[in-house]
Amino acid sequence: MSDIAQDGIEPGAESESSEQIPARLGIHPIAIEVALGAAIWFIVMTWLAFARSPETDYLLVIVTVFFVIFFTLFLFTATYNRGDARWPIKRTSFREFLKGTVSTATGEESGRDVFIEIAALPIVLALGATLIGLAWMIFG
C-alpha cells in the first residue's frame, strides 16, 4: 500500500486525460472571417437602420467603439498565440477542415460542428438586425 498514493494512482503513473492531446486540425481562417463578417454586417445594419438622431447616433458610436475594442483584443490574442507550440500549424483547405476533427477544450468535434458553433450566433444576429432594421424603416 505504500507504493500507491492516497488518491489510488501509482506514483509516476500519469492520467492520460491530464495531458493535452494536440489538435488534428486548427480553426480554419474562413470560419473566423465568416463570424467577423457577420459581426460587421450587424454593426452596418444598425447604423443604416437606426442612425436618425444625435442621441441614437451617440449610442451607436459607443456600440461601434466596443466592437472595435473587442475586435482589436481578439486580433492581439490571435497574433500573440500564433507561434505557440500547443496549437496546430497544419494548413488545410476549408473542405478538409469541415470533414476533419478539431480538438477543443471539451474534447474532439468535427470541423463542421466547430464551424457552426463559431458562425451561427453572429449570422443569426446579423439576419435579425437586418429584419428588425427593415421593419423599422418600413413601419417605423
Rounded CA-CA distance 33/40 in Å is 10
| SS3 at position 87 | coil
Residue 81: CB atoms within 10 Å: 10
Note whether 30 and 94 are within 8 A (CB). yes
pTM, two decimal places: 0.72
pLDDT tens readout for residues 21-47: 444 677 888 998 999 999 999 999 999
pLDDT tens readout for residues 99-127: 998 877 788 899 999 999 999 999 999 99
Q: Which residue has the cell 437586418?
A: 130
pLDDT tens readout for residues 58-96: 999 999 999 999 989 988 887 877 766 666 567 789 999
Q: How far apart are the first and last CA of the chain?
A: 77
Question: What integer pLDDT is reported at residue 60 of this predicted model?
Answer: 94
Question: What integer pLDDT is reported at residue 26 of this predicted model?
Answer: 79
Rounded CA-CA distance 24/18 in Å is 18
132-138 contacts, C-beta under 8 A, 24 or more apart: 132/49, 133/45, 133/46, 133/48, 133/49, 133/50, 134/49, 136/49, 136/50, 137/49
